[in-house]
Every structure is written in structure tokens, then in C-alpha cells.
A and B are shown apart, each in its own frame.
Chain A
């Protein structure tokens, strides 16, 4: 476990759990969702149709997040900020740092153990309210991603070091649907050329055009403050090396509209020739206003 991240997470939690309410609070608790590893409001792996903040139609909101993924051979941290305006538009920025294992560093004779990627996201709510409208809330978004260096990407056969994902997401909360408990589900379709979210570049020898990947999340609100659920993210296979779909099971704690904390068990399958990448995902979102 990355101690620095753990420390930041725990300090951050303390500050936000005790701070007086300063966040936009025009939405119902939990309806702002969590922070997605690429910076968008969502679940952990999948972008949702809900926007990142607690802003109602008359408010704006801003939040920051820190996520840490620790699997067998890799570690990734993602930090970023998201703002949302009038429950209509969301802007986000995230920086991902992907840390490679020694075997890959020497195997590919790399000079740096890290791959960094910047992601700028835009999301627009097109229809509905996840809780109240008859049909699911629907949003469309994009994520523009840029690697800081194309060294690893080109070594594994990727065509470029930047790319843009486009997605449409639908989210619905069903009040009292499962024995009186609220059920939330989200489905997203993403057009992408990214290899391992873009960390291994875009396109490859097997495929160099956009493909639509399906992603989904389902969660159950056990109380106003606790959510358990699972996620699935389909992945393309553009490179000659194997890329697997991702899954996770998560538990989130949302004590108030200032902070949320998520822990998940993730299964990333084979990543960059390393098999069975399973481990822990930790994430915290703090809401500034």
C-alpha cells in the first residue's frame, strides 16, 4: 500500500468529515456519485450520467479526488478536480501516474518507472434526473487524454500517445426497488482507441479505429450513507499483447455532502503481459462547494 496516499486520504477525510457544510447541497445525498479514475463523475471505473457535484439547477459545485489502485504488479494513482455547473455541464481534469514493475522496466529498458497521463473531461446532461424522471438520466461526454511520453506506448506497438474517448451514459435510481432499498444502475457506451485507458497509448497493430465498449455499474444503497455494488468495463484489444475487461466490487461510505470514501476489490485481468492483476482500489472525493 502506498503510505503517502493513505496519509493524504485519512487527513483529507478528517478535514472534510468535521468541516461545516460548505458544499453545494441542492441534490440528495449520494446522487453526485463517486469519482471515476479518469476524473469524471461516476463509479470508480465507469463514467455515470450524474454530474460530479451536488449542484442543483441553480448552483455550481467543485470537488477534488484522489484514487489509488494497487494490483499485483502495478500501482496507479489518479488525482484531479471536477466542477459542475447548474446540474448541466461537468468539467474535469485528472492526472494519472502509472508505476511499472521492475521486470518491465528492465525488460523494455526504460529510463523511467512511471507513465503519466493528463485527462481533460467534459460531460453534458442531456435528459432527466436519475431519481425523479420516468426514464434514466442521460449524459454525453468526452475525455481527451495525453501521455507525457510515448516511450512505453510505442514500445508495445501503440500508434499514438493521445486520444479522445466519447461516451453516452444512462443512470437510474429506483427508489425502494429491492426489498425497500434503493437500486442504482448505470450503463455507458464508450467509443475509444485507448489501450489500458490510454496508459499504453492509442491504437495498435491489431486495430487502429474507434470501437464501442460497454461499461456498467450496479449499486444498492444499504442506508443513506452506505452503497455496495459492482462494475464492469469492457476493453478493446488493439495491441498484440492481451488486454482484459475490468471488474470490481465496491463499498462506498458517504457520511455527508462534503466527502465520500470508496474501497473496492478490482480484477484487471492481464495488463501489459502481467497476468491476474487483482488488488485494492481506494478513493476519496472532497467537495469544495
Chain B
């Protein structure tokens, strides 16, 4: 029993020391892609891509683009592990009532991919951003 307690204590200590090691903190995806300037560039490119695509622009005709830009930057920042707070509405609330179909959803993903590519993200970085956003699809489609 004493041995077990000793062993547990040592194991716990090792675990805590390992966790506390400051130099091993993994870099967030946000930092890796270039932080604030990159996220802003992606957002500006995305708005640009949307404004030149008539199929998708119709969803944004009544959108306050200044607000969209600000919230989208926050959204990308938070979801890639950046030091931001999201102050916008839920994905469900933002997309509700627009009846976004699958074709338009996937087309918008293509536009976002172009936006990321233009902002200098590598293909693996683009995939990792899509990975964190992908689970939100359920709150956007056919709502």
C-alpha cells in the first residue's frame, strides 16, 4: 500500500512537472498561420470572393459587412486557438431562415479555401482550419 502511494505520488509529480513545462506549449493554429494579420487577410479575401459570386452574394445582400468582418475575424481567431472573444451570434442564429442548401454551402467552403490560399496558408493549414469549422455545418445547412 505504501509503495502504491509512493508510486502514485511520483507519477503525479512527473505528470505535473510535464504539464508545467513552459517551453513545450504547443503553438496554436492561429499563431502558426500568422496570427491577426493572416486572419484579417483571410476574412477580407473571403468577403471579396463572396462579393464576386452571385450565387453566394445573394445571402449577403442585407448583411452589415463591417459587422460581418469583425465577427468573422473573431470567429476564426477563437476557433483556431487565438486570444480573442467571440461576441457575435451563434452559428445557428446567423444562418437560420436562409435555407442554405448543400450546393451553396460547399461552394462557400470553396470560396473560403480560395480566401485562405490567397492569404498564404499552405494546403495542410487550410485543411486544419476547415477541420475546426466543419462540425458547425449542422447549424448552417437547411435552417
Contact = CB atoms under 8 A, between A and B. Distances in A.
Pair from one complex:
yes
Contact of A28 (B101, B110, B124, B125): B110
B106 A27 contact: yes
A167 to B, nearest CB: 25
A175 to B, nearest CB: 4
A132 B133 CA distance: 10
Q: How many of chain A's residues touch chain B, expressed as a range?
A: 20 to 34
Contacts of B110: 28
A224 B110 CA distance: 11
B109 A28 contact: yes
Nearest to A28: B106
Interface in A33-50: none
A26 interface: yes
Contacts of A180: 122-125, 127-128
B124 A26 contact: no
Nearest to A58: B101
A87 interface: yes
B48 interface: no
A223 B106 CA distance: 18
A57 B102 contact: yes
A176 B102 contact: no
Interface in B99-143: 101-103, 106-107, 109-110, 113, 122-125, 127-128, 130-131, 134-135, 137-138
Contact of A58 (B102, B107, B109): B102
Contact of A176 (B113, B130, B138): B130
Contacts of B131: 175-176
A223 B135 CA distance: 22
A175 B130 contact: yes
B123 A223 contact: yes
A1 interface: no
Q: Which of A87, A132, A223 has the most CB of B within 10 A?
A: A132
Q: Which of B125, B127, B137 has the most CB of A within 10 A?
A: B127
Q: Which of A56, A176, A179 has the most CB of B within 10 A?
A: A176
Contacts of A28: 106, 109-110
B53 to A, nearest CB: 13
Contacts of B123: 180-181, 223-224
Contacts of A181: 123-124, 127
Interface in B74-110: 101-103, 106-107, 109-110
Per CB-CB distance, the 9 closest pairs between chain A and chain B, nearest first, are A180-B124, A26-B103, A176-B127, A175-B131, A56-B102, A176-B128, A56-B103, A176-B131, A57-B102
12 contacts: A26-B106, A28-B106, A28-B109, A56-B102, A56-B106, A57-B101, A57-B102, A175-B130, A179-B124, A180-B123, A180-B128, A224-B123
Given A56-B102, A56-B103, A132-B134, 20 more contacts: A26-B102, A26-B106, A56-B106, A57-B101, A59-B103, A134-B135, A175-B130, A175-B131, A175-B134, A176-B124, A176-B127, A176-B128, A176-B131, A180-B122, A180-B127, A181-B123, A181-B124, A181-B127, A182-B127, A224-B123
